[in-house]
Amino acid sequence: MKSFALFKKDWESELRTRYAINALAMFVLVTISVIMFSIGDEKITEYLTGGLLWVVIFFSAMSGLSRAFVSEEERGTTLTLQLIASPTTIFSGKLLFNLILVFLMNIAITILFSMLFDSFVVKNLSLFIVAFLLGNIGIAISSTIIAAIISKASSKGTLYPVLSFPILLPLILTLLELTKFSMDGNSISSSIVEIAVLFSYDVIMGTASYLLFDFIWKD
Amino acid sequence: MTNYTVELNKLVKYFGRRLIFDGIDYSFQSGHVYGISGPNGSGKSTLVKIIACLISPTKGSIKHSFDGKTVEEEALHNFLGFVSPYLFLYDEFTAEENLIHVSKVRGIKFNKERSDFLLNEFNLYERKSDLLRGFSSGMKQRLKFAFALLHKPQLLILDEPTSNLDNSGKEKVYQFIQSEGKTKLVLVASNEEADLALCEKVLELQNFKNLQPRQ
């Protein structure tokens, strides 16, 4: 409940300042436009479109999801948060905010891709949805804990994608594989190993983040 | 009267190789107003942050107890009210919205009656629906007192409580320090003589400076 209250505070703050939403929307539009200009009239393969989808998602996440903690640090309100809530509440609230943001952003990106790229055809939608759900949860968890780490650093902008890349790489590679499978029309049962990898990634990152956050948050 | 105590055991704090203070052994008890004083850079703010468990000491420990039971660090925010010049509230919210959000995140029901009382006491009631970005630094400082007192904390830590305040604001703060200090534990970190005049005991930080460099 306290975490939800923190999420609500962040959401209302975001609706007023529009810092993350504007950054994400602009980034998504610019990136997709650049891809479309660079492709021109060329026909690109299904697999390449699937790959591009996750590239856009990865970099969009890098441009907006760090705001959860960075904005608190920049405005000097980190101390206020420390004085009103436990670290677990703060992490849960920020994670909830990033989860909602990731899902909204990625649904918008996927819809844009399916409208703009003819070759983006998913034959097994249920497999794609499973990958999409688990992938988004993984991206939100990783982005939130990395945002907490970099919010204390002086060069936040550079550090975020640099730190995120090795942490998100196994997730993105698995998501690329599953997107390819869903485009091939493979069944969920034949992709169970990749789904298990995604699920394990989410559980491991979630557990590690909750355990580490106390140390990151203090000092 | 409640029984809240804070015990400092052999506290040492270094920033890098620079010693801030060394070997602070002290005990604070509710029903008193304590002062923490010292020249600039003596570690007043550092000490109050350590007491509030916002930063860790290099060596030593702090123990918070309420009615004989140890207050865990995770739960300390429920017992603590904190005011300082380096504390910032949310500019994009109004004064009242700030207090509502803070109450909800604390997990307590927003007490509108107490909020109105505190806003009125600190002369902010008429401006409670205005965004904080339009507030002066003195008004923001007054709101910090409402923020710190809203949940009726047992421990009140005031770091330079009268900074940015006009004379009427200072008078109001002194009234609150005196009234809260009768039943609760109030710590005032300041160099202002008027602030320290309210304190029954004053901890002089320059007495805790061992000039030995860090090994």
> Among A10-24, A63-77, A126-140, which stretch is predicted with the lowest mean pLDDT?
A63-77
Q: Is B108 on the interface with A (CB under 8 A)?
A: no
* A2's tokens: 């306290």
Collapsing DSSP states into helix, strand and coil, what is residue A142?
Answer: helix
**% residues pLDDT > 90 (chain A):** 37
Q: What is the pTM of this model?
A: 0.88
Q: Please give the ipTM for the structure prediction.
A: 0.86
Instruction: Show me where the domains of chain A are located.
Output: 2-218
Which amino acid, one-letter code, is at A107?
Answer: I
CA distances from B77 to B6, B105, B151, B153, B206 (A): 14, 11, 10, 9, 29
Which amino acid, one-letter code, is at A52?
Answer: L
Q: Is B31:B182 a contact under the CB 8 Å cutoff?
A: yes
* A34's tokens: 């650049």
Contact A86 B91 (CB under 8 A): no
Total number of residues shown for chain B: 215
Write B67-75 long-range contacts (CB < 8 A, 24+): B67/B2, B67/B3, B68/B3, B74/A86, B74/A87, B74/A88, B75/A86
Contact A1 B107 (CB under 8 A): yes
Q: Is A215 on the interface with B (CB under 8 A)?
A: no
Contact B104 A75 (CB under 8 A): no
Taking residue A132's Cβ as centre, other Cβ atoms within 10 Å add up to 22
pLDDT in tens, chain B (215 residues): 678 899 999 889 888 888 888 888 889 999 889 999 888 888 899 999 999 998 889 999 999 999 889 988 888 888 999 999 999 999 999 999 999 999 999 988 889 999 999 999 988 898 989 999 999 999 999 999 999 999 999 999 999 988 888 888 888 889 899 888 888 999 999 988 888 888 888 888 877 765 444 44
Q: Report d(CA A139, CA A58) in Å as an integer.
A: 8
DSSP 8-class letter at A85 = S
| Residue B92 to chain A, least CA–CA distance (Å) | 7
Nearest CA in chain B to A72: B90
Collapsing DSSP states into helix, strand and coil, what is residue B83?
Answer: strand
Q: Where are the beta strands (DSSP E) in chain B?
A: 4-15, 18-29, 32-37, 59-66, 69-70, 80-83, 155-159, 185-189, 201-204
Nearest CA in chain A to B74: A86
